Amino acid sequence: MWKHKNIVPILIVFGIVSTLLALFAVSSWWWVFLVLFVWLGSTTWGAFDIRQGYFTDVFYKKKHENRRRVSLTFDDGPTPVTLDILALLKQHQAKATFFCIGKQINKHPDIFRKIIEEGHTIGNHTMNHSKGFGFLNAQQIEQEIDSCDASINDIVPHKPRFFRPPFGVTNPSVAKAVKETKHHVIGWSNRSLDTIIDDENKIFDRVSTRLVPGDIILLHDTSNKTLRVATRLLEYMKQQDFQSVTIDELLNLPAYEH
Ligand SMILES: [Zn+2]
């Protein structure tokens, strides 16, 4: 399997052998470059495409889903927009999962409480959502996860099991941290790019045309643009007989440790 823990030992052996052969002029240095290229390519690809589960196990969709169920997920809240998203979900009797940032929970505890009261699931999305998340060491990541869990625990008696890394970045430090904190890493299979694309039609088309049963859809409860996209998306899902359920229901995994 193309996983970090399997690939690295193989690349080290190939690296040593190709370097020795090149040093004794038996083969070309190009083999050494090739090994380096494969190492760099796999590391970068694995770090930025969460679906690969290259460094750690990642749940990014429900495979072989035979019902028309999907999971809407909202990251980076709670914010005042979350209230409108909650009203929209209620109107459609849809359930979602919110990956909350600790410092946002501290800012909007009442909105956070409402997410839970309305039957949605929450997951950990770190304390600060640092822009340099990909460069933090395992201990710093653990601290980010633990502080977010503590903010959640201040309000509800739940310790979440689900963790979504900021920007979907995984690397050896993230793998080490989640092993320690015992969280499941949750990715996505349908990325809206709602924080990158300006055109609402494009975001809606992108998500709706690729929508398949078992999908985990990534959105952000941080803008009115996403609220409008979600409004159209839920209408479309109704027409197509898709139902949004929480991640724990979709994956049949407990969302909290009690
Ligand atoms: Zn985020």
Q: Exposure string (b/e) for 65-102, b if CB count within 10 Å is 16 or more?
A: eeeebbbbbbbbbbbebbbbbbebbeebebbbbbbbbb
Annotated catalytic residue: which of 4, 120, 125, 220? 220
End-to-end CA gap in the chain: 34
What are 172-227's pLDDT values in tens digits?
999 999 999 999 999 999 999 999 999 999 999 999 999 999 999 999 999 999 99
CA 212 to ligand 1 center in whole angstroms: 23
Q: Which helix (H) or strand (E) holds 122?
A: strand 121-124
Predicted confidence at residue 49, as pLDDT, reads: 85
CA distance linking residue 130 with residue 132, whole number of Å: 5
Annotated catalytic residue: which of 75, 194, 215, 248? 75
Predicted confidence at residue 25, as pLDDT, reads: 86
What are 53-102's pLDDT values in tens digits?
888 999 999 999 999 999 999 999 999 999 999 999 999 999 999 999 99
Predicted confidence at residue 158, as pLDDT, reads: 87
Predicted confidence at residue 54, as pLDDT, reads: 84
For the chain, what is the mean pLDDT? Answer: 95
Per the annotation, the verdict on 220 as an active-site residue is yes
Q: Which long-range contacts does 9-18 make (Cβ < 8 Å, 24+ apart)?
A: 11/35, 11/38, 11/39, 15/39
CA distance linking residue 134 with residue 141, whole number of Å: 9
Helix (H/G/I), strand (E/B), else coil: 72: strand
- Lookup: tokens for 222: 């941080």
Predicted confidence at residue 70, as pLDDT, reads: 98
Kindly give, in sequence order, each residue whose CB lies less than 8 Å from that of residue 67, ignoring residues fewer than 6 positions away.
213, 243
Q: Quick one: pLDDT band at residue 7, thresholds 50, 70, 90?
A: confident
CA distance linking residue 248 with residue 201, whole number of Å: 30
Q: Quick one: pLDDT band at residue 6, thresholds 50, 70, 90?
A: confident
